[in-house]
Chains A and B, each alone.
Chain A
Protein backbone atom coordinates (compact mmCIF):
# COMPACT_ATOMS: atom_id res chain seq x y z
CA UNK A 1 0.00 0.00 0.00
CA UNK A 2 1.30 3.45 -0.96
CA UNK A 3 2.77 5.52 1.88
CA UNK A 4 3.22 9.25 1.45
CA UNK A 5 5.41 11.43 3.68
CA UNK A 6 4.52 15.11 3.40
CA UNK A 7 6.43 17.93 5.07
CA UNK A 8 6.29 20.29 6.77
CA UNK A 9 3.01 19.84 8.63
CA UNK A 10 2.62 23.58 8.89
CA UNK A 11 4.34 26.54 7.31
CA UNK A 12 4.11 30.27 7.86
CA UNK A 13 5.49 32.63 5.23
CA UNK A 14 5.23 36.40 4.85
CA UNK A 15 3.19 37.88 2.01
CA UNK A 16 5.40 37.98 -1.06
CA UNK A 17 7.60 35.18 0.24
CA UNK A 18 8.32 31.69 -1.13
CA UNK A 19 6.61 28.60 0.25
CA UNK A 20 8.11 25.16 -0.34
CA UNK A 21 6.27 21.91 0.29
CA UNK A 22 7.64 18.37 -0.06
CA UNK A 23 6.42 14.81 -0.47
CA UNK A 24 8.02 11.40 -0.83
CA UNK A 25 6.11 8.38 -2.11
CA UNK A 26 6.79 4.70 -1.45
CA UNK A 27 5.28 2.90 -4.45
CA UNK A 28 7.59 2.80 -7.48
CA UNK A 29 4.59 1.95 -9.65
CA UNK A 30 3.21 5.46 -9.04
CA UNK A 31 2.41 6.90 -12.43
CA UNK A 32 1.21 10.41 -11.80
CA UNK A 33 1.42 13.04 -9.10
CA UNK A 34 -0.83 15.92 -8.14
CA UNK A 35 -1.00 18.87 -5.81
CA UNK A 36 -4.37 19.77 -4.29
CA UNK A 37 -5.39 22.74 -2.20
CA UNK A 38 -8.23 22.88 0.30
CA UNK A 39 -9.66 26.06 1.77
CA UNK A 40 -11.60 25.86 4.99
CA UNK A 41 -15.11 24.45 4.55
CA UNK A 42 -14.52 23.31 0.98
CA UNK A 43 -13.46 20.17 -0.81
CA UNK A 44 -9.90 19.85 -2.15
CA UNK A 45 -9.24 21.36 -5.59
CA UNK A 46 -6.53 20.26 -7.96
CA UNK A 47 -3.74 22.79 -8.42
CA UNK A 48 -1.50 21.01 -10.87
CA UNK A 49 -0.22 17.66 -11.98
CA UNK A 50 3.26 16.48 -12.86
CA UNK A 51 4.09 13.25 -14.66
CA UNK A 52 7.63 13.76 -16.00
CA UNK A 53 10.96 14.33 -14.29
CA UNK A 54 11.89 17.96 -13.79
CA UNK A 55 9.98 21.17 -13.23
CA UNK A 56 6.54 22.30 -14.29
CA UNK A 57 5.55 25.92 -13.87
CA UNK A 58 2.02 27.32 -13.80
CA UNK A 59 1.95 30.99 -12.87
CA UNK A 60 3.32 31.43 -9.35
CA UNK A 61 3.35 27.66 -8.76
CA UNK A 62 6.23 25.35 -9.70
CA UNK A 63 6.11 21.59 -9.16
CA UNK A 64 9.20 19.41 -9.26
CA UNK A 65 9.37 15.64 -9.69
CA UNK A 66 12.30 13.31 -9.17
CA UNK A 67 11.12 9.85 -10.21
CA UNK A 68 14.28 8.13 -9.00
CA UNK A 69 13.67 9.23 -5.42
CA UNK A 70 9.85 9.50 -5.80
CA UNK A 71 10.09 13.02 -4.45
CA UNK A 72 7.75 15.81 -5.46
CA UNK A 73 7.79 19.37 -4.31
CA UNK A 74 5.68 22.48 -4.76
CA UNK A 75 7.06 26.00 -4.65
CA UNK A 76 4.78 28.99 -4.40
CA UNK A 77 6.39 32.26 -5.39
CA UNK A 78 5.11 35.66 -4.24
CA UNK A 79 2.75 34.04 -1.73
CA UNK A 80 -0.59 35.78 -1.14
CA UNK A 81 -2.91 35.65 1.88
CA UNK A 82 -5.42 33.87 -0.37
CA UNK A 83 -2.87 31.03 -0.70
CA UNK A 84 -3.46 30.23 2.98
CA UNK A 85 -4.95 26.72 2.90
CA UNK A 86 -4.27 23.03 3.44
CA UNK A 87 -2.12 21.59 0.66
CA UNK A 88 -1.99 17.90 -0.24
CA UNK A 89 0.28 15.99 -2.54
CA UNK A 90 -1.19 12.88 -4.14
CA UNK A 91 0.23 9.99 -6.12
CA UNK A 92 -1.60 7.44 -8.17
CA UNK A 93 -1.42 3.83 -9.22
CA UNK A 94 -4.37 2.88 -11.39
CA UNK A 95 -7.67 4.34 -10.24
CA UNK A 96 -6.59 5.08 -6.69
CA UNK A 97 -4.98 8.34 -5.60
CA UNK A 98 -3.19 8.30 -2.22
CA UNK A 99 -2.85 11.61 -0.44
CA UNK A 100 -0.16 12.90 1.87
CA UNK A 101 -0.97 14.12 5.36
CA UNK A 102 -1.19 17.75 4.29
CA UNK A 103 0.71 20.99 4.89
CA UNK A 104 -1.15 23.88 6.43
CA UNK A 105 0.17 27.06 4.82
CA UNK A 106 -0.43 30.44 6.44
CA UNK A 107 0.59 33.57 4.55
CA UNK A 108 0.92 36.53 6.88
CA UNK A 109 -0.02 39.94 5.39
Chain B
Protein backbone atom coordinates (compact mmCIF):
# COMPACT_ATOMS: atom_id res chain seq x y z
CA UNK B 1 0.00 0.00 0.00
CA UNK B 2 2.05 2.93 -1.23
CA UNK B 3 2.06 5.94 1.06
CA UNK B 4 3.53 8.29 -1.53
CA UNK B 5 1.70 8.18 -4.82
CA UNK B 6 3.32 9.52 -7.97
CA UNK B 7 1.48 9.74 -11.26
CA UNK B 8 2.09 8.81 -13.95
CA UNK B 9 4.75 6.14 -13.62
CA UNK B 10 5.98 6.70 -17.19
CA UNK B 11 5.63 9.81 -19.31
CA UNK B 12 6.70 10.50 -22.88
CA UNK B 13 6.70 14.09 -24.10
CA UNK B 14 7.79 15.98 -27.17
CA UNK B 15 10.34 18.78 -27.03
CA UNK B 16 8.72 22.11 -26.23
CA UNK B 17 5.62 20.67 -24.55
CA UNK B 18 4.49 21.02 -20.93
CA UNK B 19 3.79 18.28 -18.40
CA UNK B 20 2.67 18.05 -14.78
CA UNK B 21 3.98 15.35 -12.47
CA UNK B 22 1.63 14.50 -9.61
CA UNK B 23 2.61 13.64 -6.04
CA UNK B 24 0.44 12.91 -3.00
CA UNK B 25 1.65 11.67 0.36
CA UNK B 26 -0.44 9.96 3.02
CA UNK B 27 2.16 9.80 5.77
CA UNK B 28 1.01 12.98 7.48
CA UNK B 29 4.41 14.57 6.93
CA UNK B 30 4.93 18.33 7.02
CA UNK B 31 7.66 18.56 4.37
CA UNK B 32 7.72 17.46 0.74
CA UNK B 33 10.50 17.41 -1.84
CA UNK B 34 11.33 16.80 -5.46
CA UNK B 35 14.52 15.01 -6.52
CA UNK B 36 15.71 14.14 -9.99
CA UNK B 37 17.73 11.08 -10.98
CA UNK B 38 19.56 10.74 -14.28
CA UNK B 39 22.69 9.08 -15.60
CA UNK B 40 24.58 12.39 -15.21
CA UNK B 41 23.48 13.21 -11.65
CA UNK B 42 22.34 10.18 -9.71
CA UNK B 43 20.09 11.92 -7.15
CA UNK B 44 19.79 15.68 -7.35
CA UNK B 45 17.79 17.87 -4.95
CA UNK B 46 15.35 20.21 -6.69
CA UNK B 47 12.87 21.73 -4.19
CA UNK B 48 11.71 21.45 -0.62
CA UNK B 49 8.36 22.60 0.76
CA UNK B 50 7.22 22.80 4.34
CA UNK B 51 3.58 23.51 5.22
CA UNK B 52 3.01 24.41 1.55
CA UNK B 53 5.76 27.04 1.54
CA UNK B 54 8.91 26.86 -0.56
CA UNK B 55 11.92 26.30 1.71
CA UNK B 56 14.73 25.68 -0.75
CA UNK B 57 15.09 25.77 -4.52
CA UNK B 58 18.17 24.31 -6.18
CA UNK B 59 16.76 24.27 -9.71
CA UNK B 60 18.28 26.98 -11.85
CA UNK B 61 15.57 26.92 -14.49
CA UNK B 62 12.22 28.64 -14.01
CA UNK B 63 10.77 26.00 -16.35
CA UNK B 64 10.37 23.85 -13.25
CA UNK B 65 7.56 25.05 -11.01
CA UNK B 66 6.31 23.16 -7.95
CA UNK B 67 2.63 23.54 -7.13
CA UNK B 68 1.08 22.76 -3.75
CA UNK B 69 -2.72 22.89 -3.68
CA UNK B 70 -3.02 20.93 -0.41
CA UNK B 71 -0.51 20.20 2.33
CA UNK B 72 -0.13 16.58 1.20
CA UNK B 73 0.22 17.46 -2.50
CA UNK B 74 3.29 18.70 -4.32
CA UNK B 75 3.04 18.60 -8.09
CA UNK B 76 5.81 19.57 -10.49
CA UNK B 77 5.02 21.52 -13.64
CA UNK B 78 7.69 21.45 -16.34
CA UNK B 79 7.34 23.77 -19.33
CA UNK B 80 9.21 24.00 -22.63
CA UNK B 81 10.52 20.47 -22.19
CA UNK B 82 13.98 19.60 -23.51
CA UNK B 83 15.58 16.19 -24.12
CA UNK B 84 18.00 16.96 -21.24
CA UNK B 85 14.99 16.95 -18.89
CA UNK B 86 14.70 13.20 -19.43
CA UNK B 87 15.12 11.63 -16.00
CA UNK B 88 13.25 9.90 -13.22
CA UNK B 89 11.63 12.44 -10.90
CA UNK B 90 11.14 11.37 -7.31
CA UNK B 91 8.80 12.96 -4.84
CA UNK B 92 9.67 12.53 -1.17
CA UNK B 93 8.33 13.56 2.20
CA UNK B 94 9.60 13.79 5.75
CA UNK B 95 8.52 14.89 9.19
CA UNK B 96 10.62 17.67 10.69
CA UNK B 97 13.46 17.13 8.21
CA UNK B 98 14.11 13.60 9.34
CA UNK B 99 14.12 10.41 7.27
CA UNK B 100 13.05 10.94 3.66
CA UNK B 101 10.39 8.65 2.25
CA UNK B 102 10.45 8.43 -1.53
CA UNK B 103 7.77 7.55 -4.04
CA UNK B 104 8.42 5.13 -6.88
CA UNK B 105 9.18 7.95 -9.30
CA UNK B 106 7.93 9.22 -12.65
CA UNK B 107 10.19 8.32 -15.54
CA UNK B 108 10.08 11.15 -18.06
CA UNK B 109 11.37 10.75 -21.61
CA UNK B 110 11.51 13.84 -23.82
CA UNK B 111 11.78 13.14 -27.54
Interface residues of A (CB under 8 A from B): 34, 36, 41-46, 49, 86, 88, 90, 92, 94-102
B45 near A98 with CB under 8 A, answer yes
Give the size range of B's interface with the partner: 20 to 34
Rounded to whole angstroms, the CA-CA distance of A34 and B56 in the bound complex is 20
B103 near A95 with CB under 8 A, answer no
Q: A94-B56, A96-B48 are in contact. Are A45 and B102 (CB under 8 A)?
A: yes
Minimum C-beta distance from B89 to chain A (A): 11
- Decide if B111 is an interface residue (CB 8 Å cutoff): no
Sample of 13 more A-B contacts, CB < 8 Å, known A43-B103, A44-B43, A94-B55? A34-B99, A34-B100, A42-B104, A43-B105, A44-B100, A49-B99, A92-B97, A95-B56, A95-B97, A96-B45, A97-B100, A98-B45, A101-B42
Residues of A within 8 A of B45 (CB): 96-99
Residues of B within 8 A of A94 (CB): 55-56, 97
Q: A88-B42, A99-B42 are in contact. Are A46 and B100 (CB under 8 A)?
A: yes
- Decide if B74 is an interface residue (CB 8 Å cutoff): no
Within 8 A of A (CB), among B36-75: 42-45, 48, 50, 55-56, 58
